[in-house]
Structure formats: structure tokens, C-alpha cells
Chains A and B, each alone.
Chain A
Amino acid sequence: MNFWTDPIAAVAQGLMQTFTGWGMAPEVAGIVTNLLGVVLMITAIMVLDIFLVWVERKVVARFQDRLGPNRVGPWGIFQPFPDIIKLILKEDITPTGADKVPFNLAPILSLGSVIFLWAVVPVASRIYGVDLNVALLYLVASGAIGTLSIIMAGWSSNNKYALVGAYRMVANMVSYEIPLAASLLIPTLLAGSMSLNAIVEMQAKGVWLFLVTPLGALLFLVAAIAELGRSPFDLNEGESEIVAGFHIEYSGMKFGLFYAGELLHAFTFGGFLAALFFGGWHGPWAEEYPLLGAFYFVAKAMLGYWVIMWIKYTVPRIRIDHMLAFNWKFLTPLAFTLLVVTVLAHRLLMSLPLGLYVAGMFLVNLLVAWATLEVLRSSARRQREALGTR
């Protein structure tokens, strides 16, 4: 078996031979090999997470016309290490009256809910954790664990700002789960499977899904940003109202876990955006050489992450009632309309040649977008007139 065409299987086979050569039973050797794979995957993600801190700080600096970290290492690339040393050396404070077990469990669950997700992400054609047939539902389920961690953190801190921050964040996350799930249904129905591997494979054989359903990709991006709690949806924080929100009482590395979880979550959603709508690992020679596919995937995920950062550092925070109205009165109806229209159009056009099919689907999306804008315009006119006559 060649390392360049199937790296994971080659390494796993080599390890199995080594372990059984030491006299280990094959079942035990299999478990140890799989365990090593899991540890390796998590370590790779966490090391990437360390450098995401640098990426985030450098990009926000550029958006705000500053230089950003530039002292430790070339371009300040080793800045996260002093940061981590500082976080570890800080005093670990547990507030009086805090509920100790949920207080300490919340940061772990928060980071864990993101790391869970990497079990189903196909990094390349033959590099993935599991090919789960309910991967997209699994994404929603891990979001539920994230929501739970936030409410645990907010409640156990014994601080009213933390509790209000957690309420706002959870209200936001629970409501935006609906357009998120509806926008996840679109690639599911087009690919005929909830497995991410199947969705990416279908795009590698046909056409990237953002051409078929551009509006669906946009909806997923908006709902994902809301799920992340990043600006303009960062209701969990607010210096003028509730200070740092649900993680106000966390210090040192416990805060670090929340922070690392948030950055990794943003990058992970960039990865999901890439896998669902931008072909995942698909690119020239990616099928034969999985490591090249992994490079394409990380590049596309970084691009998605960059777009999320771009929005975060450009758009200000929106008030909570506007936020919820935007979700329930605009995004949710739009997501369900788009789902129904996409499925009908797909059914009607699926027998056409690929070029015509893609053009037709794109046109249908444009029509839905135009109709949405018309409805918004007329409703805004009605509201303006109602104000004028009063």
C-alpha cells in the first residue's frame, strides 16, 4: 500500500504489523491503533487552534489598520505561546457561591462540542474519522452540547451578568438552529445523503453545490455565524451592558478553553461551509493524492474562516429583539421557502444535462432572492406609510 495514495491506511497497517510483532492480540492492536489515530487527530486540531489565535489577531489588526502581533518570531507567529504561558500562570479563581462541578465542566464541554465535530469531517478523500450516515444531524447535536455548556457556565458562575449573557446567547443559539437545520437540509436533499463524505463525493463528480444553491450557502453562513455567537450576533458579550457575558467569572486557562473553542468553532464552520458547498477536498489531483486534498480542504476552510472574521470585524452588534425578529420573521420563512423551491426545481430539472441543470437551479435561486427583496421592500414601504400617517 502506497503512502502517497492512501496515507492513513498505510500508516495504520504499519502500526498494526509493529504491534502484532510485539506479541499483541490483533483486536487489542486494532483498538490501540484507532486510539492513536484519535489522539493524533485531536492533537493536530489543537495545534492548528494555537496558530488560529495568531491568525485571528493578525487579521483583526489588518482590518483595524494596525500591525498586530509582530515581536515574537517572524511576523509575530509565536505570539500564542507567550499568551498560553500567561494564561497558565494566572490565578485560577472560583467565585464564592459558584457551583463547582458545572463551573469546571462547562469550558471542557464547550471545547469538546467543537472537537466532536472533527470526527465526521472528511479532510481528504481517504482521510476522515468516520463516514457517519447522519453527519449533518450530528452537527446540530454537537451544537446542542455547546448550548448546554453555555447555560452551565452562566448559571454556575453565580453572577447576574453571566446569567443574562447566557440567556441571551442560548436564546440566540436555539432560535438560529432552525434556519441552520433547514439550510443543511438543502445539500442533504440534493445529494440524497446526510453523510458528509457522500456530499463531497457528489460534488467532486458533478459540480460544487454553491453554484446549484448559492442562497442556501448564504443562509448556512448567516446561521453558522449566529450559532458561533460572533459579531453581528455576539449577544453573549457587551461591554456596556453585561461586560464579558457568560464567561465573565472565568480566569486563566478556563477562559482560554472558551476562547480556543470559539476560534476552532469558527474554523470548523469554515470547514463545513467548504465541505457542503465548495467541494470539500475536491481540486486538481486531489483524488489520487489525499494529502493534496487535505491541503485544498484546509485552504477552503481558512477562506471560510476569513469570511467569518471579515464579517465579525466589519459589522456592529444588533439588538436582541431585532436579532430574534430577523430570525423568526425573515430567515426561517426564507429557509423553508428556499427548501421547498429548491427541491421542486431539482425534481423538474434533474433529467436535463448538467450545464442546463446548474443554470436553471442558479436562476431559481436568483428568482427567490429577487422575490425576497420585493417582499421586504413592500413591507418596508407599508411600515413607512403607517409611520407617516400617524
Chain B
Amino acid sequence: MTAEQIIFYLTAALILVSALMVVTTRNLIHAALWLVSTLFGVAVLYATLDASFLAVVQVVVYIGAIAIMFIFAVMLTRRDLLDKVPQTNTSWPWAAAASALMAGGLLFAGSQLNAFGAARPALSGDALQGLSLALVSADGFVLPFEVASILLLAAMVGAVYLAYKK
């Protein structure tokens, strides 16, 4: 087993355990903190794939903005942070079966690909520069990139409108 594989298995275990804790813990703040741990694990995965930009953006956006927002919203809206209702209802076996089927299907579909189990091809050139050029060049992803920025602008205008006192 190479060092990279050991890191992958450790990170994957961290992600899965924390993701499980997010949905099973009864304390909402703990759920948010476990979510932070999950997202950090994903950032580690990006870093091992040489996607340094995505790894750092994952931490900035998901931990720095979204997780903090979750924690704020929970603290400001809930008086009691502990849920006492049962965590499952009667149809949980169906849900479990459906998710198992889904996971098995994804694994099967993946194993049919040629690249399954193959070594990762080495990146050529500066990955960061490649990403930034792809986002601004016309034969790259300039249109989806700009459309995403219009979406964000619309969200911001909506937020300002909602908060505006007449």
C-alpha cells in the first residue's frame, strides 16, 4: 500500500464517519461541527488529487461561509438545540434498500468504465493556470461561469430587496 492510498483510506473513513454523525447526532450544533469535519475531509481529498485551488476554496466557502452560516442560523432560531422526537419512521427499511440499491448501481456503473482501478494520470503543466484559462476562454467554460455569476447577482439583489425598509 502506498502512502497515497493510506491517506485516501484514512480520509474516506473520516468523511464517512462524520457524515454518519451529521445525520445521527441529536444536537444540532454538533451536527454542524461534524459537517465541518466532513467538508474538511473532502478538502483533503482534493489536495491529494493535486487540485490545490479546489481544496482551499472548499475550506474558504464551505467551512468559512456555509458552515458558519448554519451555526449562526441554528443558534439564532432554535431555543432548544436537542431534538427529542424519534429519528426514524416506519418506512426506514425501504429507504435503506433504495440507498443500498443506488450505491450498488453506482459501484457497478463505475466498474464498467475503462479507467476503473487505473492509476491517476499525471497532470501536465500548471493545473491552476489551466483551470483559470478554461474559465475565461471562449472554447472553455466562459458561458457557464458568467451565467453562475448572474445567478449570484440575482440572489444578492433579492437579499437586498428583502432586507430593504420602505
Write the residues of chain A forming the contact surface with B, with a CB cutoff of 8 angstroms.
31, 99, 102, 132-134, 137-138, 140-141, 143-145, 147-148, 151-152, 155, 163, 167, 170, 174, 177, 194
Are A177 and B64 in contact, CB atoms less than 8 angstroms apart? yes
In the complex, chain A residues whose CB is within 8 Å of the CB of B128: 133-134, 194
Contact of A132 among B29, B36, B52, B72 (CB under 8 A): B52
Given contacts A144-B60, A144-B65, 16 further A-B contacts (CB under 8 A): A133-B52, A133-B53, A133-B126, A134-B53, A137-B56, A141-B59, A141-B60, A141-B63, A147-B64, A147-B68, A148-B63, A148-B68, A151-B72, A155-B75, A174-B64, A174-B65
Q: Can you list 21 pairs linking A and B with CB atoms under 8 Å apart?
A: A99-B29, A102-B33, A132-B52, A133-B52, A133-B128, A134-B53, A134-B56, A134-B128, A138-B56, A140-B56, A141-B56, A145-B63, A147-B68, A148-B36, A148-B67, A151-B68, A151-B71, A155-B29, A163-B75, A177-B64, A194-B128
Cα–Cα, bound, A147→B33 (Å): 13
In the complex, chain B residues whose CB is within 8 Å of the CB of A137: 53, 56-57, 60
Are B52 and A155 in contact, CB atoms less than 8 angstroms apart? no
In the complex, chain B residues whose CB is within 8 Å of the CB of A145: 59, 63-64
Q: How far is the CB of A340 from chain B (nearest CB, A)?
A: 16
Write the residues of chain B forming the contact surface with A, with a CB cutoff of 8 angstroms.
3, 29-30, 33, 36, 52-53, 56-57, 59-60, 63-65, 67-68, 71-72, 75, 126, 128
Are B68 and A170 in contact, CB atoms less than 8 angstroms apart? yes
Cα–Cα, bound, A31→B68 (Å): 35
Cα–Cα, bound, A37→B36 (Å): 29
In the complex, chain B residues whose CB is within 8 Å of the CB of A144: 59-60, 63-65, 68
Cα–Cα, bound, A137→B59 (Å): 10
Q: How far is the CB of A70 from chain B (nearest CB, A)?
A: 43
Are A174 and B52 in contact, CB atoms less than 8 angstroms apart? no
Are B71 and A155 in contact, CB atoms less than 8 angstroms apart? yes
Cα–Cα, bound, A31→B53 (Å): 25
Q: How far is the CB of A68 from chain B (nearest CB, A)?
A: 37
Q: How far is the CB of B135 from chain A (nearest CB, A)?
A: 15
Cα–Cα, bound, A99→B71 (Å): 15
Cα–Cα, bound, A140→B67 (Å): 15
Cα–Cα, bound, A123→B128 (Å): 24
Known contacts: A133-B126, A134-B53. The answer to whether A152 contacts B33 by CB under 8 A is: yes
In the complex, chain B residues whose CB is within 8 Å of the CB of A140: 56, 60, 64
Cα–Cα, bound, A134→B46 (Å): 13
Task: With a 10 A CB-CB cut-off, give which of B56, B60, B128 has the most chain A CB atoms.
Answer: B56
Q: How far is the CB of B65 from chain A (nearest CB, A)?
A: 8
Cα–Cα, bound, A138→B63 (Å): 13
In the complex, chain A residues whose CB is within 8 Å of the CB of B60: 137, 140-141, 144
In the complex, chain A residues whose CB is within 8 Å of the CB of B63: 141, 144-145, 148
Q: How far is the CB of A320 from chain B (nearest CB, A)?
A: 15
The 4 closest A-B pairs by CB, nearest first: A144-B64, A141-B59, A137-B56, A141-B60
Q: How far is the CB of B82 from chain A (nearest CB, A)?
A: 12
Are A141 and B33 in contact, CB atoms less than 8 angstroms apart? no
Q: Can you name the residue of chain B whose Cβ is closest to the Cβ of A192?
A: B129
Q: How far is the CB of A148 from chain B (nearest CB, A)?
A: 6
In the complex, chain A residues whose CB is within 8 Å of the CB of B53: 133-134, 137
Cα–Cα, bound, A170→B76 (Å): 14
In the complex, chain A residues whose CB is within 8 Å of the CB of B68: 144, 147-148, 151, 170, 174
Cα–Cα, bound, A177→B71 (Å): 18
Cα–Cα, bound, A147→B65 (Å): 10
Cα–Cα, bound, A15→B52 (Å): 29
Cα–Cα, bound, A178→B57 (Å): 14
Q: Can you name the residue of chain A whose Cβ is closest to the Cβ of B128?
A: A133
Q: How far is the CB of B21 from chain A (nearest CB, A)?
A: 12
Q: Can you name the residue of chain A whose Cβ is closest to the Cβ of B43?
A: A141
Cα–Cα, bound, A137→B43 (Å): 14
In the complex, chain A residues whose CB is within 8 Å of the CB of B3: 31
Q: Can you name the residue of chain B whose Cβ is closest to the Cβ of A132?
A: B52
Q: How far is the CB of B115 from chain A (nearest CB, A)?
A: 26
Q: How far is the CB of A345 from chain B (nearest CB, A)?
A: 21
Q: How far is the CB of B120 from chain A (nearest CB, A)?
A: 19
Cα–Cα, bound, A167→B75 (Å): 10
Q: How far is the CB of B15 from chain A (nearest CB, A)?
A: 18
Cα–Cα, bound, A143→B65 (Å): 11
In the complex, chain B residues whose CB is within 8 Å of the CB of A155: 29, 71, 75
Q: How far is the CB of B53 from chain A (nearest CB, A)?
A: 5
In the complex, chain B residues whose CB is within 8 Å of the CB of A152: 33
In the complex, chain B residues whose CB is within 8 Å of the CB of A174: 64-65, 68
Q: How far is the CB of A165 from chain B (nearest CB, A)?
A: 13
Q: How far is the CB of A100 from chain B (nearest CB, A)?
A: 12
Cα–Cα, bound, A141→B63 (Å): 8
In the complex, chain B residues whose CB is within 8 Å of the CB of A134: 52-53, 56, 128
Cα–Cα, bound, A293→B52 (Å): 28
